[in-house]
Structure formats: structure tokens, C-alpha cells
């Protein structure tokens, strides 16, 4: 079953916050009620953006400056938007995206450097798209960092910035949820994954009925 109009849902949070699990659980719940869902992620989600992803998530922390990161994430996002997100929305599908521009706003715009204005300006020129609903999974930085590092994914470049960096990210995401109140839902991520998923599904159900 397709909606009359596409729906763009994003998940955000610090590293190891459980947002990928929640993206998958929401996709399953929506499919179980007959919705057509595309589950995707950033950086990545299209062939070109996955290539850019590998440049960003591995290697030494000083491999890229915050400014270069903004350009690379935005380039990946533009390709992802052109090839994956917009075509699905045009077909009235539900797009669930694990991270989007809010990650750039917080990681590059707040935690890596004070570059919020640059992120927003570039976004308004190159991307020009905001999600309809954003879930920010709010967790404890210490526990989440341990969880993220325990995965040994080989994609730890941002985890390698350390605990203070993750604390700045947490504060940045909480602040963002207060400035973009109509679309952002701050979700207590320190509960069972089933309880979190239920809260999220209740919110989304209102949009698809």
C-alpha cells in the first residue's frame, strides 16, 4: 500500500545509540501493516555515496578537516538524494534514513568545530530538503561509545575522537531537538529496544493512517 504522498523519516543520535536497530524495527513494523518502505543510511545509500562513506569513516581522526568533512558529507548526501531518496518519495514510498543533515549539523557544525552556519548555508544551496519526522535517540555517551567500539566495525574514525566528543554530540542533538520541535522527537534511548520501538511506531502510525 502506498501513501498519497511520500514520507521522509530520519534517525539521529550519537555513535552506538541504537538508531540503526530502531530504523530496522520501524521498517519492519511499517511493512507489517502493508506500507512500502525504503530503508537507507548516511553517509551512503547510493553507489557513489557508499564510496564517499569509506573515505569518511576510516583512517586517522586528522585525515580530514571539519570543513572538508562538510563538503564530503554534502556530496554524498546530494548523490543519495538524487539516486535513492527523491525517487522513492516521488513514488509515494516511506523513506527511513539512518542519519541525514542533522548529523552534519551536530557532528561538523557543533562538535568538530563551530561551523553551524556553514552547514546550513551549504544545505540550503545543495540539498534543500528536511525530513518530515526525525527521531533523536538520546543515550548515555559512555555506554554508547563502549557499544560502538565493541562492534570493531573498522568504521571508527568518529568514535576515535573520544568521550568528550560524544558528550558534545549528545548536547548538540538535545539542543537541536529543541530548535526543530515540530519534526524532531527526542526519544529516551536508555530503555529496552522494544519499548523504544513502540513509542516510535505510535508517533509514525498517525502519519500513515
> Using the rule CB under 6 A, which residue among 57, 75, 127, 180 binds ligand TMP?
57
Q: Which residues 8-47 are close enough to bind ligand TMP by CB under 6 A?
A: 15, 41-43
Q: Which of 117-121's residues contact partners 24+ apart within 8 Å by CB, and which partners?
A: 118/67, 118/70, 119/70
Q: Nearest approach, Cβ of 148 to ligand TMP (angstroms)?
A: 8
Of 107 and 135, which CB lies nearer to ligand TMP in the complex structure?
Answer: 107
User: Under the criterion CB under 6 A, does residue 170 sit at the interface with ligand TMP?
Assistant: no
Asked if 64 is part of the footprint of ligand TMP (rule: CB under 6 A), the reply reads no
- For residue 153, the minimal CB distance to ligand TMP (Å) is 7
> How many other C-beta atoms are found inside a 10 Å radius of the C-beta of residue 3?
14
Whose CA is closest to 193, among 10, 28, 7? 28
Contacting residues toward ligand TMP, per CB under 6 A: 15, 41-43, 57, 73, 99, 103-104, 107-108, 155, 158
Amino acid at each position: 500500500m502506498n501513501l498519497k504522498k511520500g514520507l521522509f523519516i530520519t534517525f539521529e543520535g550519537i555513535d552506538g545509540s541504537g538508531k540503526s536497530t530502531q530504523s530496522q524495527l520501524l521498517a519492519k513494523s511499517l511493512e507489517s501493516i502493508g506500507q512500502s518502505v525504503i530503508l537507507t543510511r548516511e553517509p551512503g545509500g547510493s553507489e557513489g555515496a557508499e564510496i564517499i562513506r569509506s573515505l569518511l569513516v576510516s583512517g586517522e581522526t586528522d585525515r580530514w578537516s571539519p570543513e572538508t568533512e562538510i563538503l564530503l558529507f554534502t556530496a554524498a548526501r546530494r548523490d543519495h538524494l538524487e539516486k535513492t531518496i527523491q525517487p522513492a518519495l516521488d513514488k509515494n514510498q516511506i523513506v527511513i534514513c539512518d542519519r541525514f543533515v542533522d548529523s552534519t549539523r551536530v557532528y561538523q557544525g557543533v562538535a568538530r568545530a563551530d561551523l553551524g552556519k556553514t552547514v546550513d548555508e551549504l544545505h540550503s544551496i545543495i540539498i534543500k530538503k528536511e525530513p518530515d519526522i526525525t527521531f533523536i535517540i538520546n543515550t548515555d555517551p559512555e555506554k554508547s561509545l563502549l557499544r560502538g567500539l565493541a562492534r570493531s566495525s573498522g568504521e571508527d574514525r568518529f568514535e576515535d575522537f573520544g568521550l568528550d566528543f560524544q558528550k558534545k554530540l549528545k548536547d548538540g542533538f538535545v539542543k537541536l531537538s529543541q530548535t526543530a520541535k515540530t519534526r524532531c522527537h527526542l526519544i529516551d534511548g536508555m530503555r529496552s529496544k522494544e519499548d523504544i520501538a513502540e513509542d516510535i511506531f505510535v508517533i509514525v502510525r498517525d502519519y500513515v493512517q
